[in-house]
Amino acid sequence: MDLLQPVIKPYAWGSHEALARLQGRRTPSAGPEAELWMGAHPSGPAGMTRGGRELTLLDAVSDGPERELGAACARRFGGRLPFLLKVLAAEQPLSIQVHPDREQARSAFAAQQADGRHGPYVDGWPKPELLCALSRFEVLAGFRDREEAVRVLEDLEVGRLRPVVALLQAGAGDRVLTDALRAVLEWPSDDRAALVRGVVESCRRRARSDGPHAEAYAAVERMSRHHPGDLGLVASLLLNHRVLEPGAALFMPAGGLHAYVRGVGLELLANSDNVLRAGLTAKEVNVPELLRITDPAVRVPEVTPTGVPGPGSTQLYDCPVEEFSLHRTRLDGSGGPLVPSAGPRIAFCTDGSVRLRAGRTDHLRLGPGDSCFLSASDDGVLVEGEGTLFVAAAGLSPAERGPLV
């Protein structure tokens, strides 16, 4: 068992309070702190000390993939830790984005490397995601139904939106939603400022009503303070607006369009950093590629945790992917074998104090904001204490999971 030193990503949309408070550091932080990375991705591998030597989790896995991951996991994922665990602390909205599936990522990344050119793909891996709210977390996730999208846009009474409304009304099936998104994101450059200004002004008025979409309109008004003039403000109205309560979770499959608006959450994803962006960001956008891989039929479902055998109250957030799984254990002074019990795992404590024990001499205590890596050779681990522990691990293979119903 190895205590981890996570990497903090200082993106501009991050909080000056949340991560520092979670880790017991002085607040406010000197700059924005957006993400806490606990994993082995080359862009931000967590640090660790083993045998008196400073190294990263990526170093450890690369030096002994079968020892750290187990033979089966190492074969299945090419010697790569298949998941990445993060804490997101969004004080400002993140970009409207989408992630590729395995074949899209593999082929696009290979094409970039063959041509020797810069591109939006940083690796050949997919990036499905699970977001579990640690605070109230506001998100835009998945396309609205076509009829509801029409109502949301019509209620604004913005004349410039009539072509988009007409496109939605005349179309059929899910593909028309992508057509509407394309129409917004490819709006004539000489008219973009007027379109966004009209939509934001109308959203400001509608947000003060008691209508069914007042919260979505209010979100546009708030986001406009950080991204004035951005076409993503208009595009956001095509997406479902949701507010997750602590403990609630969403699964973002490949091709599912989404954006995080504000809040603190635990994110578990495949070990990739492939992101295609369309707006609400100062980073590079790639509208053609985002439109190519966006799948309007993809829904972004809420994941209800289910109870499983384990110490205290142990629950599984089940997602239909092989790269990751997430368990949450709430301890009230009780203890027992850690779940899951095998394979590479990263354990993260969000509150209280928990102790992990492996054998007679290997003990590790985790408090709020602490995390550790458990290799495949760390078996028979016991956990006890009072607090909440999340454990990320590899998911089931397609053969183990069986056909999805």
* Residues contacting 166, CB < 8 A, separation 6+: none
Give the integer Cα–Cα distance in Å for 113 and 119.
9
Question: Catalytic site residue 277?
Answer: yes
**What residues pair up with 97 in beta bridges, in sequence order?**
258, 277
b/e burial code for range 111-135 (CB count within 10 A of at least 16 → b): ebeeeeeeebbbbbbbbbbbbbbbe
Query: Per the residue annotation, which of 80, 206, 277, 357 is the catalytic one?
Result: 277
Beta bridge partners of 263: 90
Other beta carbons within 10 Å of 375: 19
Residue by residue, DSSP assigns 346-385 as EEEEEEEEEEEEETTTEEEEE-TT-EEEE-TT--S-EEEE
Task: Enumerate the β-bridge partners of residue 265.
Answer: 88, 133
The span from the CA of 246 to the CA of 264, in Å, is 9
In 263-367, which residue ranges form alpha helices assigned H by DSSP?
Answer: 287-293
DSSP 8-state secondary structure symbol assigned to residue 160: G
Tally Cβ neighbours within 10 Å of residue 397.
11
Q: What share of the chain is helix, strand, coil (3-state, %, to 5)?
A: 30, 30, 40
Distances (CA, A) of 23 to 11, 137, 282, 289, 315: 18, 20, 28, 38, 24
Record the tokens describing residue 374, joined without a space: 């458990």
Show which residues are catalytic.
277
